[in-house]
C-alpha cells in the first residue's frame, strides 16, 4: 500500500480533466476517455470545455505513457483512448456521467462500462475511487460486483474502493477543484486514510474523511437536492407574486436584508447535477419503500418553469398588441448556465419549444455554445455572433446570464412595441418589461 501512486482517471469531462490535471502536478497520471476527438484535443493541450486553461494543461502534458518503465517520464499526464494505457495504474479514479433516462430513472450504464474497463486491469492491492454522483449504495452494491466479476479478485482482500464525490462547478474560475474541500471515504478504515491522504496532497482546501462510503455518497446527492428544493421555493414564489403583480426580485432583495435569509433566486434549473441528482435519491427511497414527496415536488415545479416563462412572454406580447403567430423572438442563451459552454440538459430549450408551439419564430444567440453540438442536440436556429443577428424582434428573452449579454444595446434589435423579459434578473430593472 505504500507504493508510489500511479493514477488513471477514467472520463475526461468537466470533472475528470481538472482533477487529472491537478494530480499530474505531483503524480504520474494517464487520462483515459473513449471519445477519440476529446483525446486528440487534450493531447494537443486544448480543452474545449474551458475548465482548464490551455497553458496550464500544456504545462503538465507528457508525450509518453508515464506508466511504461521505458518512458522515463516523471510526473505529468498522458491522454489516451486506448484502455491498455491504464494497465499499470494502481489507483483508478472513475469520473463518468450519471444521467437519467427519458423516464427520469437513474442510468448507471456509464458506471458499469467504466467498471468493466477498470476490472480488466485490476491487480492486487489496487484502489478504485468513484467520483460520479450516485445514490447511497451504488459503489459497493452495483460497481464492486462488476469489478469482482471482471477481475476475478476479492473485494477488500485483493482490491479496494473509495468514494470522493465531485464538487466541480462548471464555468466557476474562483472555486476550482483544489480550492473546494473534498469529501473522501474508503471501503476499510485503512483505505479511507490512504484515499484521504491522496486527495489531501493536492487539495489545498483540505478534506473531510467520511466514516463510510455510503455516507459520502449520501452527502453528495443531498447537496444538489438541497439547492433544487430552495430554488423550487423561489420559483413557486415567482408564480405567486406574478399573479399579484409583484416583482419577485424586489421581494427577495427586501427579505435578504435579514441576516439568516437564504439568498436563492428563481430560474431555470438544468444541467447534469441539480436537475438530475435528486432523481437518484428519490429512486433509491422508492426502492426501500418510501415515496419522496418534497424532492419530487421540487423537481416537477422546477421542470415546469420553461412553459411558465413562455406563457409569461406571450401574455406580455398580447397586452402590447403584438401578433403571436410568426412573431420574431430573440432568445439569449442555450447553455445550462452562464459563462460555460455546456449545453447538457439546458432548460432554455423548454422556453424555446413552448414559444414555438404558440407559433412564434425563435432565434437563439449564444457565443459560448458550439453550433454543431446545439444543432445535433436540439435542432434549433442558433447563432454564435452578434453580427449574425439580422432584423428586429418582437421580444427578447434573456435565459442565460452570460457576461456578454450584459453590455448589449437591446434597442438595436427591438421593434417599436417589442418587450424584454429577463429570466435571470441581471439586467437593469428599468430596461426590462418583466423579470421572473
- Which residues does the annotation mark as catalytic? 273
Of 348, 386, 393, 380, nearest to 367 (Cα)? 386
CB 144 within 8 A of CB 157: no
* 401 grid coordinates: 446570464
The total of other beta-carbon atoms located within 10 Å of residue 264's CB is: 17
Q: Which of 201, 199, 193 is nearest to 166 (CA)?
A: 199
**CB 93, CB 8: distance < 8 Å:** yes
| 111 vs 132: CA distance, rounded Å | 8
Cell 462548471 sits on residue? 170
The CA-atom distances, in angstroms, between 363 and each of 51, 60, 383, 413, 417 are 28, 41, 8, 12, 18
Question: At how many degrees (to 10) do helices 213-243 and 294-303 cross?
Answer: 50
Residue 66 is given by DSSP the state T
As a residue count, the chain comes to 436
First-last CA distance in the chain: 55
Amino acid at each position: 500500500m505504500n507504493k508510489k501512486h500511479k493514477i488513471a482517471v477514467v472520463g475526461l469531462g468537466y470533472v475528470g480533466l481538472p482533477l487529472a490535471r491537478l494530480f499530474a502536478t505531483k503524480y504520474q497520471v494517464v487520462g483515459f476517455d473513449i471519445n477519440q476527438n476529446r483525446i486528440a484535443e487534450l493531447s494537443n493541450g486544448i480543452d474545449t470545455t474551458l475548465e482548464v486553461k490551455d497553458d496550464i494543461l500544456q504545462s503538465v502534458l507528457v508525450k509518453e505513457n508515464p506508466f511504461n518503465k521505458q518512458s522515463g517520464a516523471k510526473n505529468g499526464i498522458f491522454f489516451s483512448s486506448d484502455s491498455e494505457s491504464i494497465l499499470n495504474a494502481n489507483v483508478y479514479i472513475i469520473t463518468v456521467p450519471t444521467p437519467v433516462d427519458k423516464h427520469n430513472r437513474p442510468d448507471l450504464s456509464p458506471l458499469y462500462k467504466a467498471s468493466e474497463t477498470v476490472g480488466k486491469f485490476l491487480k492486487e492491492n489496487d484502489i478504485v475511487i468513484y467520483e460520479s454522483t450516485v445514490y447511497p449504495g451504488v459503489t459497493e452494491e452495483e460497481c464492486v460486483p462488476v469489478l469482482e466479476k471482471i477481475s476475478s479478485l476479492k473485494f477488500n482482500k485483493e482490491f479496494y474502493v473509495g468514494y470522493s464525490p465531485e464538487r466541480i462547478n462548471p464555468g466557476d474560475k474562483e472555486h476550482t477543484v483544489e480550492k473546494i474541500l473534498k469529501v473522501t471515504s474508503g471501503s476499510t478504515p485503512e483505505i479511507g486514510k490512504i484515499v484521504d491522504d491522496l486527495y489531501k496532497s493536492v487539495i489545498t482546501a483540505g478534506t473531510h474523511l467520511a466514516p463510510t462510503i455510503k455516507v459520502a455518497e449520501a452527502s453528495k446527492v443531498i447537496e444538489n437536492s438541497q439547492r433544487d428544493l430552495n430554488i423550487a421555493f423561489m420559483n413557486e414564489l415567482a408564480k405567486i407574486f406574478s399573479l399579484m403583480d409583484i416583482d419577485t426580485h424586489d421581494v427577495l432583495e427586501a427579505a435578504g436584508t435579514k441576516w439568516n435569509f437564504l439568498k436563492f433566486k428563481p430560474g431555470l434549473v438544468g444541467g447534469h447535477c441539480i436537475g438530475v441528482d435528486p432523481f437518484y435519491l428519490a429512486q433509491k427511497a422508492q426502492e426501500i419503500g418510501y415515496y419522496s414527496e418534497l424532492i419530487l415536488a421540487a423537481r416537477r415545479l422546477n421542470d415546469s418553469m420553461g412553459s411558465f416563462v413562455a406563457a409569461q412572454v406571450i401574455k406580455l406580447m398580447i397586452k402590447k398588441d403584438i401578433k403571436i403567430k410568426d412573431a420574431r423572438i430573440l432568445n439569449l442563451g442555450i447553455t445550462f448556465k452562464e459563462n460555460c459552454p455546456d449545453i447538457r440538459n439546458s432548460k432554455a430549450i423548454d422556453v424555446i419549444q413552448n414559444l414555438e408551439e404558440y407559433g412564434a419564430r425563435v432565434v437563439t444567440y449564444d457565443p459560448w455554445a458550439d453550433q454543431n453540438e446545439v444543432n445535433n442536440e436540439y435542432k434549433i436556429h442558433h447563432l454564435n455572433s452578434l453580427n449574425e443577428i439580422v432584423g428586429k424582434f418582437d421580444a427578447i428573452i434573456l435565459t442565460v446570464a452570460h457576461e456578454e449579454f450584459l453590455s448589449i444595446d437591446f434597442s438595436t434589435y427591438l421593434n417599436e412595441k417589442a418587450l424584454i423579459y429577463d429570466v435571470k434578473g441581471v439586467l437593469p430593472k428599468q430596461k426590462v418589461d418583466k423579470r421572473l
